[in-house]
Chain A
Amino acid sequence: MEIIRSSRNNIPVLQLKGRFDAHEVEPVHAWLGEQVKNGNLKIVVNLEGVNFIDSTALSTLVRGLKLCREKNGDLHVCSLQQPVRVIFELTRLDKAFDVFPTEEEAAKGF
């Protein structure tokens, strides 16, 4: 999986590409923890390039969401491909996360 770290309007953005599963979560987990530790409590995760996501990967995002919200921040996800959207819908995490069609809207949505 490819991981691209960037920012948009001073909001840290993590863009993921490829298969996001149990074997790929560690750097994402570390990045989310680092952002929260540094006081960046508004975070965007761009899943545009993700074609598969498993429950461990989703759980990593849930953990990130929890960390942010505990400190009155939030984690927005955006640009879900159809297979990933289906998983978000099946798990109802589309109701728990704020999901945006584009990265720009996700960054503006805080």
Chain B
Amino acid sequence: MVVLLHNIMETVNLKSAGFGSNPILEAVIRMFGNIVTRFILKADWVAVTIPKYVEILEGKYGAKNVLLAPHGSFEEPTKSEPNPMPGGCPTVMTFGKFGTYKTVDLLVEAHAVLLKKHPDMRLVIAGTDSPNAAGYLQGMREKYSHVPNVEYTGYVAEEEVPRIFGEAWVVAFPYTSTTGSSGVLHQAGGYGKAVVLPNLGDFAELVLEEGYDAEFFEPASADSLAESIANVIENPERQKEIGLRNYTAANGLPITEVVDWYLIHFEELLKKK
């Protein structure tokens, strides 16, 4: 049996994830997390997508059966050329389920900073509340009602996804804590988009390991985020460079090839058994 572990308990910020308000509850969740992790480690192989996770699982649990595997892209390689510079007005887009470790307040504040220089700039917040943060986006909409050119799409139907990504000049990842490898990053790469990422260890490692490029910002700073976005939208060469590099990275490793990678490990297991 091979298990893919997308996230590990040790790197999850429970407060950011909406579970850390009660220290006793947090301790109980972590205890169960440890038990579940030990149970998962009974598998023949446990695959993770971040090198640091291998070190943590080997160090803390003494695991000898953890391996690093690529995340891959769920997007099929596109036949047409990517379009990192779609024209129109500068559009920053963020995509996901928000309210826990994916928050938008910093992004709206960065948008407000950038509007002073780029009054036609759009911010598209595509997606819904996280199941653990019902009402979050409505709260943000009310809190920042004074900030213009912010669009909340709500749920994005699959057929609308290409348009949402297609219109974006840059895809922003306003994450407050580390997560596993990001599916949205791979999606953005599939559309040849420049991205701005928080300067969190996991993402930096991912960029290096999987051939992506990005502008980085300090996680708690709206000014830093605004500067990173400006570095893209005010610099067409950089916008194009990041977009094309990400396109190559995303198309270089479609999920079908990731499956081959797993099958190689299955073959080794079958040989042993």
Are B260 and A22 in contact (CB-based, < 8 A)? no
Are B54 and A90 in contact (CB-based, < 8 A)? yes
B70 to chain A: which residues have CB within 8 Å? Answer: 55-56, 58-59
User: CB-CB contacts of A1-31 with B at 8 A, as 1s and 0s?
Assistant: 0000000000000000000011101000000
On chain A, which size bracket covers the interface? 20 to 34
Known: A55-B70, A56-B252, A59-B70. A92 touches B211 (CB 8 A): no
Known: A22-B252, A23-B248. A59 touches B265 (CB 8 A): no
Are A96 and B265 in contact (CB-based, < 8 A)? yes
CA distance A58 to B51 in the complex (A): 15
Known: A59-B261, A62-B261. A91 touches B252 (CB 8 A): no
Nearest B residue to A93 by beta-carbon distance?
Answer: B264
Are A90 and B51 in contact (CB-based, < 8 A)? yes
Known: A55-B70, A90-B68. A96 touches B249 (CB 8 A): no
A54 to chain B: which residues have CB within 8 Å? Answer: 208-211
Check if A95 is an interface residue, CB within 8 A of chain B. yes
CA distance A94 to B157 in the complex (A): 42
Known: A55-B70, A55-B210, A91-B68. A63 touches B260 (CB 8 A): yes
Check if B4 is an interface residue, CB within 8 A of chain A. no
Are B264 and A55 in contact (CB-based, < 8 A)? no
Are B268 and A22 in contact (CB-based, < 8 A)? no
Contact partner of B211 (CB less than 8 A), chosen from A23, A63, A66, A93, is: A23
Label chain B's interface by main secondary structure. Answer: helix
- Interface hits, B1-59 → A, CB 8 Å: 45, 51, 54
A-B contact count (CB 8 A): 63
A58 to chain B: which residues have CB within 8 Å? Answer: 70, 261
Are A66 and B264 in contact (CB-based, < 8 A)? yes
Are B268 and A56 in contact (CB-based, < 8 A)? no
Are B45 and A56 in contact (CB-based, < 8 A)? no
Nearest A residue to B48 by beta-carbon distance?
Answer: A90
Known: A59-B260, A62-B261, A66-B264. A90 touches B210 (CB 8 A): no
CA distance A25 to B267 in the complex (A): 24
A93 to chain B: which residues have CB within 8 Å? Answer: 264
A45 to chain B: which residues have CB within 8 Å? Answer: none
Are B265 and A92 in contact (CB-based, < 8 A)? yes
A22 to chain B: which residues have CB within 8 Å? Answer: 210-211, 248-249, 252-253
User: CB-CB contacts of A22-60 with B at 8 A, as 1s and 0s?
Assistant: 110100000000000000000000000000001110110
A-B contact pairs, 24 of them (CB 8 A): A22-B248, A22-B252, A22-B253, A23-B245, A23-B248, A54-B208, A54-B209, A55-B70, A55-B209, A56-B211, A56-B253, A58-B261, A59-B70, A59-B253, A62-B261, A66-B264, A87-B68, A91-B67, A92-B45, A92-B68, A93-B264, A96-B264, A96-B265, A96-B267
